[in-house]
Amino acid sequence: MWHSLHDRPTPKAVSVPLMFGTFVIFLCLLLLSVHFTSIGQGAFLAVEPDSLLAASSRIFTLSSGPAATTPTGGQATIPPPPFHDLALADVAPRIIDIKQPAHILPAVQNKGNTSEVNVQVTAVISRNGVVLYEQAQMIKTIAPGQWVHLTFPQFAPTELGEYLIRAEVVIADDRLSNNQTTRILRVVDGKPDVWTKDNPEDNGDVPSNPWFWSPDLWVRNKDDGGLIHQDPIAGVPNTVYVRLRNRGDSPADGTVDVYWHAPALATHCNDWAYIDTASFLNLEPDEVRVVKVTWIPPYTGHTCLFDVVDSPLDPYDRALECSPERVPWDNNVEQRNLQVIANSRPAGSAVDAAAVYATEVELVNVYSHDKNVDLVVKRMTFPLSGTVDIQLPDYLFDRWMAHPERWDEGVQILTPTQTIRVTGAISATIGAIPMQANELAMVSLRFDGPVGKEYEVALEEWIHGVAVGGIGFQWIIPEDRTRWLPLIAR
């Protein structure tokens, strides 16, 4: 053992091979200054020695961000490894009436970063250890972030009491902690089914379509019991009405939570702003009842409305709160995104006079992954003589035009103004608009139709071949021109 620096042996001369080896190591350490990055999601490893000391100390940083340029002018990319994670997010119902067989409704979400194909989902119902129901379905493909809702055959119980319902999804290399859901299924003799209409023809069955055109949710500027929706007025009390229905065979008690949102074709999870809660007691079978809450809006103009009905024997499905298809798959939830526009003919106007209406709505990628979004226009009763023009933001229009997967149908692109004009007699689609994860974009709309007539048109947002939102526009001839205010519902 050395007791001091002077006790250490004198070093010998360094040999030539050792010097050469040291030089090679020095060059390798310098090469570590090259930055390796990756594009898109996932992390990249960047080795950033600011000096030879930093390199020899082997300091590494883990970060994410845009691709860096290598000394040769290219991009060094390390793609993220595949990550498989299919979650069995929910299985419904929770309570069924012994007299009314019910469909079993599993919901699956892809929480990984890889598309999965030929995925099997199973549902098993048992009682006291005896299997009474066993079914399976296949999901052909499910993209990252996507939800898929399935409808299994009906289950017809023969006894009252509690059953065990288990749904499962399995793929290779999957996380096994969330691919199975087990619930208690209660079978009762008589239960309420409280619901609200998602569209004028809705009968309460799920899924509904369209689901953003509810006639059972509306605003009045005063608490006057009027049935025609009015755009809210900021800073003063307005009244929101909700029409409840019970298609079950027993009375219901419960609550209605009411929310609002700025005009948008779709919304992110938990984006809705709470207004208030109304309570109801003893809603009888086949009864229709209107409840109300008071609301002081922050601004005047169109807003989207949303409500959730909850009852002890007919609870809303909390597991679907972040599903883009929450509304059509739960008749306890409704949404209104319908704008009504006054279209009376001004005195002395020409027969062929035009009624021009312009507005803006948000186009929303509801997923935390980059997605291709389809914007669909359904002409419905909007006259062929009228025009519907759409303008994307400049950056999004340029991105769409350069996108190799872009497509369109029933539209004309007016290049000088970047206007997209609807030409389809029935519908039109701006297909595969490339949107980044959770991206919002304001879309401008311009309608030019005849005055003095009533007609309607709808816009819908689709991702993965499924409608994730929409908005309707109705032109009406108001009965009372002096009191009428425009309206929008979702």
Alpha carbons 356 and 448: distance in angstroms, whole number: 4
Together in a domain, 199 and 331: yes
CB-count exposure of residue 137 (10 Å: 0-12, 13-18, 19+): middle
- Residue from 360, 363, 368 nearest 436 by CA: 368
Together in a domain, 225 and 320: yes
User: What number of other Cβ atoms are within 10 A of residue 19's Cβ?
Assistant: 9
Return left, alpha or beta for 326; rule: phi > 0 is left, psi -120 to 50 is alpha, else beta: alpha
Taken in order 286, 292, 298, 301, the sign of the CA dihedral is: positive
Strands 304-310 and 333-336: antiparallel
Q: What is the pLDDT of residue 479?
A: 57
Domain boundary among 188, 213, 240: 188
Together in a domain, 102 and 172: yes
| DSSP string covering 403-458 | -TT-EEESEEEEGGGTEEEE--SSEEEEEEEEE-TT-EEEEEEEEEEETT--EEEE
pLDDT in tens, 342-388: 787 666 665 556 778 899 999 999 999 999 999 999 999 999 999 99
In a domain, 169, yes or no: yes
What's the rounded mean pLDDT across residues 167-179? 84
Together in a domain, 121 and 250: no
- Amino acid 16 reads V
Q: What is the pLDDT of residue 271?
A: 87
In a domain, 442, yes or no: yes
The two structure tokens encoding residue 281: 């007691």
| Percent of the chain predicted with pLDDT > 90 | 64
Sheet holding 86-92, edge to edge: 86-92, 105-110, 147-149
Distance in Å from the first CA to the final CA of the chain: 83
Domain boundary among 141, 164, 188: 188
Name the most confidently modeled range: 171-175, 321-325, 397-401. Answer: 397-401
In a domain, 44, yes or no: yes
Q: What is the pLDDT of residue 43?
A: 32
The two structure tokens encoding residue 256: 């209605």
Mean pLDDT of the chain: 83
Together in a domain, 328 and 353: no
In a domain, 12, yes or no: no
Alpha carbons 337 and 402: distance in angstroms, whole number: 32
Together in a domain, 184 and 202: no
CB-count exposure of residue 27 (10 Å: 0-12, 13-18, 19+): exposed
Could you tell me the residue range of the domain that residue 40 belongs to? 17-80
User: What number of other Cβ atoms are within 10 A of residue 234's Cβ?
Assistant: 11
The two structure tokens encoding residue 397: 């229009």
- Amino acid 400 reads W
- Count of structural domains, the chain: 4
pLDDT in tens, 18-51: 444 554 445 454 444 433 333 333 333 333 333 3
Alpha carbons 254 and 307: distance in angstroms, whole number: 13
Lowest pLDDT segment from 52-61, 135-144, 429-438: 52-61
Together in a domain, 364 and 292: no
Q: What is the pLDDT of residue 176?
A: 75
| DSSP string covering 96-165 | EETTS-EE-EEEEEE-SSS-EEEEEEEEEEEETTEEEEEEEEEEEEE-TT-EEE--PPEE---S-EEEEE
User: Contact at 8 Å (CB) between 303 and 361?
Assistant: no
In a domain, 402, yes or no: yes
Lowest pLDDT segment from 87-96, 106-115, 388-397, 473-482: 473-482
Q: Which pTM was predicted? A: 0.76
What's the rounded mean pLDDT across residues 79-101? 91
Q: What is the pLDDT of residue 66?
A: 40
Beta bridge partners of 409: 429
Confidence of residue 58 (pLDDT cuts 50, 70, 90): very low
CATH number of the structural domain spanning residue 258? 2.60.40.10
Together in a domain, 254 and 355: no
Alpha carbons 382 and 321: distance in angstroms, whole number: 34
- Residue from 445, 404, 410 nearest 427 by CA: 410
Q: To the nearest 10°, the Cα dihedral for 458, 464, 466, 471? A: -30
Together in a domain, 214 and 318: yes
Together in a domain, 308 and 354: no
